[in-house]
Amino acid sequence: MLLSYTFAQLGALFQSNPELWKTISLTQLDLFVRLCVAFRVEILLYARLDFTSLDPPTVYFLPDHLLHFLAAMIDVPQSVVQALWKETSHLVWSAIGATDVLTPAERDLVNALDERGFYATAQHLPRYQYSLASTMLMPPVLWCTHCLRPLTSLSRVKVTVFSSSTGYRATKGYSSSLKCKGQHLEFQYH
């Protein structure tokens, strides 16, 4: 399901920061929002929020690897990505339950960038933590259901995914596992 926006939503965006909108096209804006929706859990994982809240989260900054990734995908500087995030994060969180927001060609581009080791350009975390593919398998919760602390100790392995949404064509994915610091739980998707 691809996302749709109303003219009112887009009009409000364009009025909010006219200088920003001079630098990007509607096509770039649309792809940016859909990519952020596709990687929503990744954004939350690095934001270390109170995951148990039902309110839409407030995330002021995107993690470094997503800044690199989004800048490459829509072909703008990282400063523009950060400005875009500030203006559009409410649209990203309001797309409740949206899946399959990327086209097959866009998914292939995500995976091609990963093959080049693109996301490892920032150096302060291990390579696997920067890995992004068109399918990201995540634990069902990001917090410990015993002590409610955010789960940490991310580990990530490459997997091959067969899904009805891609016509059962083999596509690339990463499966992530997380642990509670209090050793209450270890969630593994794989």
Which residues contact Zn ion (rule: CB under 5 A)? Answer: 144, 146-147, 180, 182, 184
d(CA 66, CA 89) in angstroms, rounded, equals 14
- Residue 126 has, within 13 A of its CA and on its CB side, a CA count of 7
Supply the minimum distance, in Å, between the C-beta of residue 84 and Zn ion: 35
Name which of 14 and 51 has its Cβ closer to Zn ion: 51
Q: How far is the CB of 109 from Zn ion (least distance, A)?
A: 38
In angstroms, what is the minimal distance from the CB of 177 to Zn ion?
A: 15
By beta carbon distance, the residue nearest Zn ion is 144
Here the tokens at position 158 are 């490459």
Between residues 16 and 52, which has the closer beta carbon with respect to Zn ion?
Answer: 52
Q: SS3 for 57?
A: coil
Question: Closest CB to Zn ion among 122 and 147?
Answer: 147
Q: Which of residues 83 and 141 has its CB atom nearest to Zn ion in the complex?
A: 141
Strands 170-179 and 186-188: antiparallel
We find the least distance from the C-beta atom of residue 140 to Zn ion, in angstroms, to be: 15
Q: Is the dihedral of CA 30, 33, 36, 38 positive or negative?
A: negative
User: Cβ distance 129 to 151 under 8 Å?
Assistant: no
Q: Answer yes or no: are the C-beta atoms of 69 and 32 closer than 8 Å.
A: no
